[in-house]
Structure 1
Amino acid sequence: MNFLFEQFQIALQSESWPERGRRMRLAAWYGVLAATAFVWANALVNVFSFPRLPLGLDWPYTLATWAWLSLALGFAGLIAGWFTEEYQGVVGGGIILTVLLAIVFLFQMQDAPTVQSVLMALPLIGVGMAAAGALRWTARRHVHISLQPSGWLRRKQLAQHLLLIVCIGLFAGILGRLDWPAEQALTNLDTYLREAPSNPQVRMYLPIRQVPSLTEHFGVEYRFYVRRSALAAGSLDLTVRFSDGFVMQCVLPVGNTNFFTDCWEAD
């Protein structure tokens, strides 16, 4: 304990609080900026990429994801920026971010075994450290730009720096775009639901046995709310919300001859 306390004291005395605090604030702010760009790009990319599909934006889920990821990256930025030494900031911020992301994994995978959840969270260690290192770089680069003697040059480089961070977040979010098999699975489901009122033959492809009340809502407008399944590999977690208030949730396999593995009526 004495050794840890001495190391903490040395870290506190290694630089001034204004210098340390500025780096912490900048790293946290850039973390929130990157999280914002990532979450909204990820949420909107499919809605705009597939206009023929009745895809909707899941506002509660998107806002919740935006809130926790902004907090996670912001807090990781604070920790990463607190340390004077580069490697300490990368390791410290990376560990904090990994723990926060692992907690989210555990909550999202409540039905999965704990060991499975932990194993899936292990690769996040490398991701967390890379993110912490990137956050420290954004703060260090911002400070370097602020020292430029020319006001015009400072504004130009700062705008480029901000644009780079936003573009990185947008690019990472766009990678969440549905691939062709997922698009085909949703297109098939949309076709079956629209043809079901006039074509009884397509009803065999719909989960009527699992959700018998689905037949009462044929012909009603609906929206798909989709995200990658956290429990079933190669599947989508699908929520179908009908305009009359009926809600059906399904696990939709992608590229599988068995169209549905599980469906139920939701509240």
Structure 2
Amino acid sequence: MTAYTWMTGLLDVVGSGPAGGTVRQCPAHRDEIPSLSVRGFPDGSLSLKCFAGCTTADILTALRCSRDRLRAPPPVSPDRYAAMVGLRLDFPPIRSRRAGSPASRGFRLDAVHDYGPAVLERWRHGPYKELIWETVLPAGGRRPGLHGIAIAQLPLYRESEVRMALAAGEPVLLVESESSVDALRGWYATTWAGGAASVNVDRLARVLAGHPSLVVIPDHDPAGLACLARLRSAGLARHVLMPAPGHDARDLYHGLGRDRFADAVRRACTGHREAA
């Protein structure tokens, strides 16, 4: 049994629904709309991310687990463990978030990310978010969903701007989300459609491979580090600028400020070691 299978088993035991799913009710808050993402990795480890804002420490505390449980299971079964530590949780009934349009349910349109033949709408309501793809119609307007378009067929985010930067020899920052690209004002930055779980290595290699001033800024979490490993294996992570644990490119930019961030990018471009 791996850490991932043990943790999902424990969540099943305590009633975190939907049972067996990768997105469940978070044990650290009254979660009527499942917001806990449980991701497993090839080595059997896992990550826990609550989209309502609970930290990994909050979730582990609610489950009476140590941080070791992210990497290795204990020598007892999940149901035996729950009995031993007296773990009993009361989850509320699940409320659907998909009934009606986001706007009719109180969500506001937070951002629209243009991918050429399709756009990604980012809707937000308090701590919750929804991502909706829409196809751009030839005659104008948009239609919900990706109709005959595979995610892997989409260009990189802001690819036309990035191609201009490549031609001019400017630094290009490769990050993990559209929101981070948008936050890096004044920089040529890009990402791919689909997030860390669906790294579009082929498209990234076709556009970015060989650029001497390509700097990868990964999310510093288990999913982001796994993503970085894939980029490295494809030869796309020669220069890496690593944020603090739990942070992403946007956090790094705001934390350092414009001038110190520029210095960090320059150092990353001139060396082969990861910049702190």
Q: Which TM-score band applies after superposition, normalised by the shorter structure?
A: under 0.3
Pick 1 or 2: higher relative contact order, CA cutoff 8 A, min separation 6.
Answer: 1
**Structure 1 or 2: more strand by fraction:** 2
Q: Which has the larger radius of gyration?
A: 1
Give the alignment's TM-score, normalised by structure 1: 0.27
